[in-house]
Amino acid sequence: MSTRAPLVVVGDALLDQDIDGDAHRLAPDAPAPVVDVTDDRSRPGGAGLAAALAARDGREVTLVTALGQDPASQAVREALAGRVRLVELPLHGSLPVKTRVRAAGRPLVRVDRGGGHCGEPGDAVRSVLASGQPLLVADYGRGTADAVRAELARAAARAPLLWDPHPRGGAPVPGTRLATPNAAEARALCPRDDTSVRADAARGAWLAHRWQAAAVAVTLGERGALLVEAGSDRPMLVPAPYRAQGDPCGAGDCFAAATAGALADGALPEEAVQRGVAEAAAFVAAGGAGAGDLWGASPTTRTDARRSVDAFELAASVRAAGGTVVATGGCFDLLHAGHVGLLESARRIGDCLIVCVNSDESIARLKGPGRPLTPVADRVRVLSGLGSVDAVAVFGETTPEPLLRKLRPDLWVKGGDYSVDALPEAAALREWGGQALVLPYLDGRSTTSLADRAARSAARAAAGEPRR
């Protein structure tokens, strides 16, 4: 059983469809691309997606939404069965269906159809909203939040409530713990010519006052989110942990679901926003709302907030595509300018860069007592955060040769004053036709010299000598 707090999601469910294919020609009767369809998938969108994402870690999630008797409503019910508990309002009409037609993964056109209006809430809906459980309002401006606005206003006084607003929807109810407009929505609500971060912070503060919300987080896409608490003149920028490349569809729902879950578990707003930003980045990197794993996996499967890349899978895929696999290695105990320059240069000569890192035990054998200064988990995290590094692999032996025989890179790169023939890994590279290379290294930069300099500085400070 999950130890996470239950969460109630309120909002407008949709049905999202992706029609994927290839476009290599124009139609004979119009200058329009012809898409040869290779895949056609449907999934819950809107509040339905937010609820499914909130339930990925085993959290108990109840979705309050309007559904009808049309095929799209039934498709959403079937997709969410076993993932979330549904408590329905009547939908008079049909559920909105949003269809993206994509070629080579890039949208060509979106077609929207369907729609209806939400009926009055019944006793089951009122009971859920009066339960005192934390809430996420995923408002898509189609009437669900408006239909239960009075109940949400009362609920905000009893439990944390996160409101993800929509330009066509109503304002968050007073007492909202955190409202999460994106930058475009905030700029539409509070127009001004300036689009700087400073201006976005001012918009967030103005919206917090206008909405009587405890805080506003203005989401900035791949840049992260800007958190502004009511009455504070110190906004906090929460950057994304890395630049995610992928389909951003549904990233806002992922951010809202992760942030609301964190608030439900007792996190402070800044902690909750950090979790939301990290999970949204991982969500985009993993393929967004259309990723097959999202809907094919068990509802209790959680996407890690920091997607890790398997070095062996990466090397195999790059080789299969005819690319060049580059590897380098070392302790990387204190990352410095020499390391960064080497890694950037190494990445430019191939199609991927894999860094082979000594384990803590391996460094202790090589460097002696007192090393490493930084544990391997931290070293891997720092290296993985560099834009030049595609994957990191750890080895426990004294040399990386056993690891290299598994990776089989095309190029092995080292920096410094080695000669190629003197590189101990050069013979191993020749076994599969690889090549060892030496790249220039910045003089005077090494972990040992940095550590020695720090030790001397500390000794002088302890002796009361002036800093040099």
pLDDT band at 4 (very low <50, low <70, confident <90, very high): confident
| pLDDT in the model for residue 72 | 96
Question: Is position 304 annotated as part of the catalytic site?
Answer: no
Q: Which two tokens stand for residue 173?
A: 């109810």
Nearest to 54 by CA among 306, 283, 271: 283
Chain segment 414-465, per-residue pLDDT in tens: 886 566 667 778 899 999 999 888 886 554 445 455 555 555 665 666 666 6
Q: Are 89 and 45 in contact (CB under 8 A)?
A: no
466, pLDDT greater than 70: no
Cα dihedral: 140, 144, 146, 151 (round 10): -130
Q: Lowest-confidence range among 229-233, 349-353, 392-396?
A: 229-233
SS3 of 80-136: the string is HCCCCEEEEEEEEEEEEEEEEEEECCEEEEEEEEEEEEECCCCHHHHHHHCCCCCEE
Sort strands 106-118 and 61-67 into parallel, antiparallel or unpaired: unpaired
Q: Are 11 and 145 in contact (CB under 8 A)?
A: yes
Going from the C-alpha of 429 to that of each of 34, 178, 421, the distances in angstroms are 47, 55, 11
Which amino acid does the sequence have at 123? D
Q: Which two tokens stand for residue 409?
A: 């890179």
| pLDDT in the model for residue 410 | 94
Q: Are 96 and 114 in contact (CB under 8 A)?
A: yes
108, pLDDT greater than 60: yes
306, pLDDT greater than 70: no
Q: What is the mean pLDDT of the chain?
A: 88
| Mean pLDDT, residues 266-286 taken together | 92
- For residue 386, the SS3 value is coil
| Mean pLDDT, residues 231-254 taken together | 85
pLDDT band at 1 (very low <50, low <70, confident <90, very high): very low
Q: Which two tokens stand for residue 147?
A: 């239909």
Nearest to 219 by CA among 234, 207, 232: 207
Q: Which two tokens stand for residue 7?
A: 């969460």
Q: Are 246 and 288 in contact (CB under 8 A)?
A: yes
**Helices and strands, counts by H and E, the chain:** 17, 17
Chain segment 147-157, per-residue pLDDT in tens: 999 999 999 99
| pLDDT in the model for residue 303 | 39
Pairwise CA distance, residues 133 & 258, whole Å: 16
| Mean pLDDT, residues 393-405 taken together | 93
Residues in the chain: 468
| pLDDT in the model for residue 457 | 63
Q: Lowest-confidence range among 138-147, 156-165, 240-249?
A: 240-249
The enclosing H or E element of 62 equals strand 61-67
316, pLDDT greater than 80: yes
Say whether pTM exceeds 0.75.
no
237, pLDDT greater than 70: yes
Which one is catalytic: 18, 164, 253, 333? 253
Supply φ then ψ for residue 187, to 5 degrees.
-70, -30
Q: Lowest-confidence range among 20-24, 197-201, 227-231, 423-427?
A: 423-427
